[in-house]
Structure 1
């Protein structure tokens, strides 16, 4: 099931950032000296506005956020940003301060604050009219669970449509719709977008099953906690009204800034490699490959990308042209591999054209390695959670590869360990981790790996 959550929501934050920056630059243009609007000033303002908003969480406003919280976020954002704004003139304009600058900052503060609250309240009105809603169900039959049900019914401006509650303990309530297993089936059939679980009403195994179910079906999970659960490091405590709700911590690839950071790094790194290395190395390798065997220089193969989107993955041909190239991966002492191909595979030079895939946006420098389609179909049936690795762009290199799990899969544990490390990477990504993997890849190429054949 594909949830409606996030279908367009990922656009809201970037659009709000662009709108706020437009207000700032318009205010500067209207009230201040026009020569401020140069490239240096623009880059400075954009960089610090986005950086500060990331740390103040200025754009982390949800349907249940209190107005007092929004006001606090606004004050924090502008207090820090104004320090950066006036520092520009100290650093680059030799302490120049004019009256128009104070008019400028007052203008964009007032306008941005006004539109932030206006947007928040317009969304509330829109939800009251039946738009921008989320279908929710509740698992549990305790007082806390029923309080959540009551809140959803009374606070229509939150935009939640309560569809029923499920519990293994039968209830006479009109809202009671069945047991937990029936609730999971109900969620699929009725496109439920959020499930609220009362912790005490479910067994640990049921909670585990529900969380696995929500992850698989792209449904948001919220827990109605017992007291000790509030201190769990895996969840964030939030409030809907006065009711505490636990929300699973957002994974790195669920954040817009993660994709932005990786894409910027991918473009810069791949451009450098293309200009400094591929521009002269590929012509040399083309001559060597052509002299060694007949056939095309590039070998392309359809692979699965992020969210199942297929693309042509490019490599330098390292085998003789054969009918099994798309069905059978390379094995040790494979007779299909050419003389120059053995060298290319051993040094991983055959993977270099994938930097073009990165520039096209089909791949990333670092990520789970894309498998042949026939292998993907096999592993989907055999390996638990295999599909999770397809939730991000595949990479030229990855954590599994630099950890020794690359090449031929001889036994089931080989692919299991590869998937385990890929999932660990997805759940624990950081820019530093990407840099470590890149450096480890270079080191392994120089050192050589036994599985590189």
Structure 2
């Protein structure tokens, strides 16, 4: 559950502090490098730094880098925004050097090192600051007294989040509910008092005993919510709504706007904007590198396929890709037949259709290597939900809840389900449901680091996986 960002005086102070420290780190890193490389500080360095500061201030403004999140950890997505802002600075400086024909005046080694280490320094600094502030809040510094309106399942879940994450500095003082004036609500970490009704909440807010109010009432209680917000507007407490649709299974939920109306996505792809660009660059760079490494082995594999049985070298099968559109997925042929109709029978253990050489390719996943070309074409990704035959999609979409949501992203050569053991034959509905569960978890939690982790795990898993045949 996402906790809203703070936009009050605290946010302004934190934002100003971060901007100043970021600028100091940018300048300090270049100065330190000039010392290490035994170069004098020249006027040219001052000009570069001034341009870098100007470009950085503009870039971070548009990338929303200085959001103050008390209720969430500094995630990889925040680091990617910071990296995107710094990339803008680098491209801007390179363009200025090219346009002014002055690139020869600058040390390439010095500035290349500066371009690389500066975002790392900024990221480490922000990560350390996040940990430091969290530890301070655990010890009672800079905390906020939080009231939860609604002693319901949603309210209980919200309270558990606060209790399990003291680094947030959000200290729940209790529940307020018009239906239960007093009592206890048992939670995982201990009971929290239901200390009053909504009139008591207004009174305590006026007395300054509460800093923040989280309204966790059902959407059908619109009248009560409106009345409560109107009364709380006569106090200085911060008020947040926790809509009860957050109790549903959301897929990459995020806030947005349509005109001046706020909207929330219930199911959406994580690959919009900068994240989509990062994902595509990851695919192009790594797929290109992998293809260069395996080009020669692929030639020998092709010879082995041709000698193992008559038929084409590459098996092309129709599968569903991004947004459910049909794509053609390539694999080295491993069977003596090549099925791609309305009914496709999955390979089973000791399947007579699989050739001896094909069994080796399937066991080691070497038959998937032609899909690197699919990745470069843009039909697939290195990491994502594994594509299923069209016939299997049409079968399982009617039996597995939220099945088609896996097509909110491009299919992958490997995925979170595969590295967690859900690879190979799905001879029962439970197995397919578990695979879909991991596919949706991947979409919900995507990050560049998760992709790299999955790729790393895949290298070790394919050679010992007993589920592929």
TM-score (norm 1): 0.50
**1:202 pairs with 2:202:** no
* SS of alignment partner, residue 382 of structure 1: coil
Query: Which residue is 2:241 aligned to?
Result: 229
Q: Report whether the alignment pairs 1:292 with 2:308.
A: yes
1:428 matched to which residue of 2? 445
Residue 136 of structure 1 corresponds to: none
User: In the aligned structure 2, how far is the partner of 1:251 from the partner of 1:50?
Assistant: 29
CA-CA distance at 1:396 after TM superposition: 0.3
- CA distance in structure 2 between the aligned counterparts of 1:375 and 1:267, rounded to whole angstroms: 29
Structure 1 residues 435-450: aligned runs within 5 Å = 435-446=452-463, 448-450=464-466
Q: Does 1:313 align with 2:313?
A: no
- How much has 1:306 moved relative to structure 2? 0.3
Question: Residue 373 of structure 1: which of 390, 395, 412 is its match?
Answer: 390
**Mapping of 1:404-423 within 5 angstroms?**
404-423=421-440
Shift in CA distance, 439/92, structure 1 to aligned 2, threshold 3 Å: farther
Cα contact 2:417–2:439 (8 A) shared by 1: yes
Would the aligned equivalents of 1:251 and 1:428 in 2 still touch at CA under 8 Å?
Answer: no
Quick one: structure 1 residues 323 and 342, their matched pair in 2 at CA, closer, same or farther if it must change by over 3 Å?
same
Find the partner of 1:342 among 359, 383, 390. 359
Q: Tell me, what secondary structure is at the counterpart of 2:468?
A: coil
In the alignment, which of 344, 355, 375 is matched to residue 358 of structure 1?
Answer: 375
How far apart are 1:50 and its partner, in Å?
9.3
* Change in 2 beyond 3 A, CA 1:93/1:291: closer
Shift of 1:332: 1.1
How has the CA–CA distance of structure 1 residues 397 and 53 changed in structure 2, closer, same or farther, with 3 Å as cutoff? farther
In 1, distance between residues paired with 2:329 and 2:58? Answer: 34
Any idea what the Cα deviations from partners look like across 1:349-408, whole Å, max 9, x if unmatched? 000000000000000000000001111001110000001001110000000011111111
Query: 2 CA distance for matches of 1:364 and 1:312?
Result: 13
Q: What is the CA–CA distance in structure 2 between the aligned matches of 1:322 and 1:228, rounded to whole Å?
A: 57
Which residue of 273, 284, 288 maps to 1:256?
273
Q: How does 1:72-87 map to 2 (within 5 A)?
A: none
Q: How does 1:39-78 map to 2 (within 5 A)?
A: 52=60, 55-56=63-64
**In the TM superposition, what is the alpha-carbon distance from 1:305 to its structure 2 partner?**
0.6
Aligned CA-pair RMSD: 4.5
SS at match of 2:287: helix
Q: CA deviation at 1:321?
A: 2.2
Q: Distance in 2 between matches of 1:50 and 1:379?
A: 49
Contact 2:219–2:243 (Cα < 8 Å) also in 1: no
* Residues 1:400 and 2:417 are matched in the alignment: yes
Number of residue pairs aligned between Structure 1 and Structure 2: 266
Which whole-Å CA distance do the structure 2 matches of 1:349 and 1:276 have between them? 13
Q: How many angstroms apart in 1 are the aligned matches of 2:425 and 2:347?
A: 7
Change (3 A) 1:365 1:240: closer
Aligned to 1:282: 298
Please state if 1:267 is matched with 2:284: yes
Looking at structure 2, the residues matched to 237 and 391 of structure 1 have their Cα atoms a distance apart, in angstroms, of 18
Provide Cα deviations, 1:59-89, integer angstroms capped at 9, x if missing partner: xxxxxxxxxxxxxxxxxx99x969x969989
Aligned residue for 2:203? none
Which structure carries more helix by proportion? 1
- What is the TM-score with the length of structure 2 in the denominator? 0.49
Task: State the secondary structure of the residue aligned to 1:314.
Answer: strand
- Whether the 8 Å CA contact 1:302–1:373 is kept in 2: the answer is yes
Contact 1:251–1:427 (CA under 8 A) maintained in structure 2 = no
CA contact (8 A) 1:252 1:258 kept: no
* Contact residue 295 and residue 320 of structure 1 kept, 8 A: yes
Query: Secondary structure of the residue that 1:301 maps to in structure 2?
Result: strand
CA distance, structure 2, for counterparts of residue 440 and residue 238 of structure 1: 35
* Shift of residue 255, structure 1, vs aligned partner: 2.7
Question: How far 1:310 moved relative to its partner?
Answer: 1.1
Q: In structure 2, what is the Cα distance between the partners aligned to 1:240 and 1:337?
A: 53
1:130-163 deviations in Å (ceiling 9; x for gaps): xxxxxxxxxxxxxxxxxxxxxxxxxxxxxxxxxx
Question: How much has 1:245 moved relative to structure 2?
Answer: 6.0
Once the two structures are TM-superposed, the CA of residue 52 in structure 1 deviates from its matched residue by 3.4
Contact 2:271 2:409 in 1 (8 A): no
| Counterpart-to-counterpart distance in 2, 1:90 and 1:280 | 40
